[in-house]
Structure 1
Amino acid sequence: MKFKLTALFLVLAMGILSAQSKKWTLQECVEYAVENNLSIEQFELDLQNIQIDESDALGNFLPNLNSRVSATGNRGLSADPITGSNFTAGIFTLGGGFSSNVNLFNGMQNKNRMNRAKLSAIAGQYRLDDLKDDIRLNVALNYLDVLSNKESLKVAQAQYAATEQDLNRTKELVESGVVPKGDLLDIEATAAGQEQAIVNGQNQVLISLITLAQLLQITDYENFDIADEAFEIPPSDILNNSAKSIFAKAVDFRNDIKLSESNVSLAEKDLDISKGARYPTLSAFFNYNTSYSSRKQFDPATGTSSRLDLIDQLWLFDGITYGGQLSIPIFNGFSTRNSIRRSQINVEKAKVQLEQDKLALETTVNQAYANVNTSFSAYEAAEKTLEARRLAYQYSKERFDVGLMNSFLFSQAQARVDNAEADVIRTKYDYIFRLKVLEFYFGIPISLD
């Protein structure tokens, strides 16, 4: 028994440690965000409401059916609801029946409402998918921001480790009288600045992790972390396509454009519904009623009064009414005409909005295309600068080690390397993100592979 409890404790402990050490990949972050985002949940509920509207539209084609039952007691002067004669004795009556109405024609409004409900469900799905696209892109941006901050922190820590070596070496040179103590103070100042950079870098990593966790609706910030992987420039042939061809493909599959197109169709269907109010409406109805009275009924054939049984009266005093009704609109204070005019304006507004969305998408794609080229050029330039700064630093270090350069100039050379390394990291992740944005508009799922 003791062995089983110990084994159970070890399993639980390992599970807790495993959960705390979980490193989230980009794909896991994207999938989790889509599944747990509150805005997506709200949009999904809205879509369920839209689907209920579709059921309402289907119900307009079906006849309604209603029933009624009434029970009434009277004392004093009353009228028999069956014979219509007045009397002063007490009476108890029952009545009941059912009725049904069906719309046969109303200017195709029911059909147009049904089609509109279907279009609305499609538009709602596009709206939901467009939100998911935006969330995927935001997650990728924040994920890359964490990676960039982590890599910057590693560089700062490596720079501090190198400075510590220089600091120890300088202490030995100062003690042996080879270099003045001022050189040691300069390097100590450089080391202190790098320590501060490490603290700032740690804060940047923490803040970016919290921002990403909040986007994923995760509140356990202390145990949240992403996979520690070094991402290099991913291979991509997206620039083999022109900005025009990328835009042409984006128009075909982007959910925001599909949503705008659906809004045009919805506005056109609203116009059809408004026009339907100009036509006559034809409906049919059917009613069945029966009743029972506790008052005795006079039988002329026998000259006597008697009370029929409940079932007999319900069968004897029942009745059926049926018929049809045609309603022709003649004048309604311009409401139908104005409704049609408003619907026509809404159609034009939806078309204008569609064109605006296409223009906005084209501008975004062209800007993204230019950003990819610009950011890649900046990254290449930053790498060349870093290479040159490292060579210059190495030369300065050799001169410093033999006393041909003072600590201030040597620190300046090291600071230039630090800045160049920071620029490489910044431009690298800026290029990766802009590249992923352009691929996203081309229909390539977000991935760092």
Structure 2
Amino acid sequence: MATSTDSFYLGFDFSTQQLKVVAVDGNLNVVHQDNVQFDSELPEFGTQGGVHIHADRLTVTSPVLMWVKALDLILGKMKNAGFDFSRVKALSGSGQQHGSVYWRKGTNQVLRDLHPGKTLHELLKGGFAVSDSPVWMDSSTTEQCQYLETAVGGAQRVADITGSRAYERFTGNQIAKIYKAKPEKYEDTERISLVSSFAASLFLGNYAAIDYSDGSGMNLMDIFSKQWADSCLEATAPHLEERLGAPVPSSAVLGLLSPYYVTRYGFPEDCKVVAFTGDNPGSLAGMRLQEGDIAVSLGTSDTVFLWIKEPRPTVEGHIFCNPVDCHSYMALICYKNGSLTRERIRNKCAGGSWEVFSSVLRSTPIGNDGNIGIYFDTMEITPSAVGVHRFDKENTKVAGFSAQGEIRALVEGQFLAKRVHAEKLGYKIKSFKSRGLPG
């Protein structure tokens, strides 16, 4: 229980469907939390799941002013609930990775001169050159990805520099699309932010730097020098470096909170704004992973987080700068065939019961008598493949296993794949400790 003199620390998460806030005291006790659901609480923006899916079914965007108005709303909720802003010593946060915000020329001065008598939404309604921000769900930039890989020297070369081959959702390719399709919008852009650095900018009252970790998900940053990669910038858009600003460590203190919040909400004048980062790097930090740890999120898609020291980028998976230790790295591997595939085998082989599924798994031998299965019900991400394949101990392809063998083949196959891909990216097994994340 916090006392009346404890300091508070705020964390904000600008995710796809909602804005969340949590306040903790110096002992990490949660003292306040709230959220704003975009669809239901800001219906005027007409989003579904926080986004607009365009007619081509590939382009996916979110209204940038929706995020601004959500911040007005959540701070208003906190004020109405009696939250004591005067005890907040510092704040930081995270944002959905890869999304980009395009600030109109002259808007930095608007940020510096925010009038506390008006809402952020009112003050910034004309502040963006692009009103609908591309987000991570967008897959419309295949042409730009192909161009980047060709210009830089191939998919592996892009991965060697930036930590990942060119991906449609990655920010650099979205910037390239905007430059080509809407050059006048690009020309009118003074600064390009990630969702994370955009959020930090709102609090800072100035354009906030992109942090190393979230900046690793752009196909633009050299993850080893931690500077923008000239070859990638040149293949994306002209005069891009000046629009991005210099990246900073994920733990950097960006400065003091804008006076706007001091006057309007009662924050202290010495409240610090710490760099915001992406939601995936934030998960690694929040799980308190250390070198050698693995976090596995088992959801519709499975995600593996790794802390590594000596990364080896490949065309499968991602290497980001580590948000906790800027001399280390994190690996992120995504698998599309996750819980839905496990549920299919559960229904087929365990009568739809997880209890039976688990009992069978415990009763069958490790190694499954040499039988192994590959279960890609839909086109997999890592690797790009589809189909179900089963092999016996002689490495002969077979049509099926017993129900018991099928269950263990599925689980062992999925986790062996995670180990293989993790080791390819530079993970070294010394002592094993896993931490599971609910999907």
Q: TM-score range by the shorter chain?
A: under 0.3
Give the structure with the larger helix fraction: 1
TM-score (norm 2): 0.18
Structure 1 length-normalised TM: 0.17
- Structure number with greater CO (CA < 8 Å, separation at least 6) is 1
